[in-house]
A = this chain, B = another copy of it.
């Protein structure tokens, strides 16, 4: 049961009441579609005249459409059915990582319209060139035939690091970025005041994608672990994303597992990332190919992961042992995470997915060995089915869902404005 806000001298301005009710009707159509205006009125408690006016407004904004079908009713004339308009709008999510730029565009139903995966060396390029490439990629994606005629409702960028609420990348060790005002720079390059942009941590957006569209969708205590050169996590607890006091919740890559361990990009020793990050794994799995060490550029990481999994599949003892050892460290790190937040499911993403067959058994064994109460509910570990697009997809979906939970960013088009 949702409750509408009817203006009744309660201090809300009429325009705020209307915006709140537009969002309410949009959420209701999302849940009930296909549904009649009468069903929306009944579910929200708003009166039918108000609902008709709100629906007209949402249709003018390209958010709701009539399906062309009518409801079967025993009494009265049949109602025209409504659904979300999946033809007019799109949201774009990007993910910048050490060795690639991923792009996903989705419609109002979170369905993928387009995806791209570009090998790209963000560390070598630096923040300014990276922002320019992102802006260019957004423009190309918006102009692509898959998005023909659609209005873009928002752009999201996922970054492997700590991001503040205004979109500044405070610290991204593996990109070598510190205090980069990426959100502001990207907005300036896109130069469209009507186009909202957001920047967030890749783990945070990844777990939102898993919660919405992953194989364990709907799990309220859910963790997504990025498997890149860096390792980070997004943590949902009771269905709510943990951000923490300064936005660095989920930075499990820097859990110290071995004080005498190898050096980490953060300057410490024995961090999870230095023991079980993709760089550490390929250095041990294909030492002959990875001799140059980090940082690798462009497609080198993908090539090294490909070689490592190929050798593991062929039974190469060095490659298999490297992955199993990394899996044990990863399981120990996840036990630390599990003792603190007690998730029901941990989903491993990124390059952990192709290495899954060799990682998973030792991850699960070490997790069960080191977590406090493995026999009281325990914690499942699964591989992501969303590939490298999880964080980008989560960001795009976040821009879509901002429409019905935050402020509606879209003014009604002038030629069709409903007053």
Interface residues of chain A, those whose CB is within 8 Å of chain B, are: 1, 3, 8, 10-11, 45, 162, 170-171, 220-221, 233, 235, 237-238, 240, 242-256, 266, 268, 332, 335-337, 339-344, 369-373, 376-379
A6 to chain B, nearest CB (A): 10
A243 CA to B238 CA, complexed, in Å: 8
- In the complex, are the beta carbons of B256 and A332 less than 8 A apart? yes
A105 to chain B minimum Cβ distance, whole angstroms, is: 31
Shortest Cβ distance from A336 into chain B, in angstroms? 5
Q: With A255-B336, A256-B332 in contact, is A377–B245 under 8 Å at CB?
A: yes
Q: Which residue of B lies closest to A8 (CB)?
A: B45
Q: How far is the CB of A24 from chain B (nearest CB, A)?
A: 14
Give 29 pairs: A residue, B residue, CB < 8 Å, sorted on A. Answer: A10-B45, A162-B376, A170-B376, A171-B376, A220-B245, A221-B245, A237-B237, A237-B243, A237-B244, A237-B249, A238-B242, A238-B243, A242-B242, A242-B342, A244-B343, A245-B344, A245-B377, A245-B379, A246-B376, A246-B378, A247-B377, A248-B342, A248-B372, A249-B341, A249-B342, A251-B342, A252-B339, A255-B339, A266-B372
Copies of chain A in the complex = 2
List 19 other contacts, CB 8 Å, given A162-B372, A245-B342: A1-B11, A8-B45, A170-B376, A237-B237, A237-B243, A238-B242, A244-B341, A244-B343, A245-B343, A245-B344, A246-B342, A248-B376, A249-B342, A251-B373, A252-B340, A266-B372, A336-B340, A340-B340, A341-B341
Q: Is the CB of A246 within 8 A of B373?
A: yes
A10: B residues at CB distance < 8 A: 1, 3, 45
Q: Which residue of B lies closest to A235 (CB)?
A: B340
Return chain B residues, CB-CB under 8 Å to A332: 256
Q: How far is the CA of A251 from the CA of B252 in the complex (A)?
A: 16
Say yes or no: B342 contacts A341, CB within 8 Å. no
Alpha-carbon distance A246/B377, docked complex (angstroms): 6
Give bound CA distance, A191 to B336, whole Å: 41
- Quote the shortest CB–CB distance from A45 to chain B (angstroms): 5
Give chain A's interface secondary structure class.
Answer: loop
Q: How far is the CB of A32 from chain B (nearest CB, A)?
A: 16
Residues in B whose Cβ lies below 8 Å from that of A341: 235, 242, 244, 249, 340-341
Given the complex of chains A and B, what is the CA–CA distance between A256 and B259 in angstroms? 12
Residue of B whose beta carbon sits closest to that of A380: B245
- In chain B, what residue has the closest Cβ to A6? B8
**Closest chain B residue to A251, Cβ basis:** B372
Chain B residues near A266: list those with CB within 8 A.
372
* From B248, B252, B256, B376, contact of A370 by CB (8 A): B256
* A339→B250 CA distance, assembly (Å): 6
The residue of chain B having its C-beta at the shortest distance from the C-beta of A335 within the complex is B256
A373 touches B243 (CB 8 A): no
Give the nearest-CB partner of A11 in chain B.
Answer: B1
Q: By the criterion CB–CB under 8 Å, are B373 and A249 in contact?
A: no
- In the assembled complex, which residues on chain B have CB atoms less than 8 Å from the CB atom of A268? 369-370
